[in-house]
Amino acid sequence: MTIERNPRIDEDVELLLGRFRDILQDGRLIRHDEIEAVLGIRRTVSRYKTVTNKWRRILMEEQRVFLDGRSALGEGFKSLTPDDMIRYTNRRVRQMGHMLRKALQVASLPHPSELKNSEARVFQARLLVACEQIVQAHKHVLVDLAKAMKPPRALPRVVGGKE
């Protein structure tokens, strides 16, 4: 079975690239209603998401512009500044760390004897061993990453020449 690509998706992406060709890393907001007007489709249609995801991916790969939907608070997409991109990445890496930590905690909850499926026992063992090997092999990198993700400490305020 072969999956054929819809040529209308590429046409719609080209429409967006043509209409919003001057996007910079400047924090501007591109509203959903502007995009809907260009495409002629509502944002509730699944094709809207397909088209905008591909458009955003092209902008990121070719123009180094990242459009974030969460920063726009549901209004559309915000073109992140370079500083915003670092904050976004920090937040996402921290989220992934939390997700991974929780998944490993859940995976380690059942005792192997409680697992009825032998494949599940093997998978659990391999998963836990692999994660432990990663941690041991890259402990210094993980420590450096954790330090880098912490926000810098605020400098003390100087009031009237005194600390």
- Give the domain ranges of the chain: 8-80, 83-149
| pLDDT tens for each residue of 86-119 | 888 888 887 887 888 888 888 888 998 898 888 9
What is residue 31's three-state secondary structure?
Answer: strand
Alpha-carbon gap, residue 132 to 123, rounded angstroms: 14
| pLDDT tens for each residue of 111-142 | 988 988 889 999 999 988 888 888 777 777 77
Residue 162 pairs with which residues in a beta bridge?
A: 159
Alpha-carbon gap, residue 140 to 142, rounded angstroms: 5
| Contacts by 48-51, CB closer than 8 A, 24 or more apart | 50/9, 51/9, 51/12, 51/13, 51/16
- What lies within 8 Å, CB to CB, of 50 at 6+ separation is 9
User: Where does the pLDDT of residue 50 fall: very low under 50, low under 70, confident under 90, or very high at 90 and above?
Assistant: very high
Q: What is the pLDDT, as a whole number, of residue 163?
A: 52
| 86 closest CA partner among 141, 25, 135, 30 | 25
Q: What is the pLDDT, as a whole number, of residue 4?
A: 67
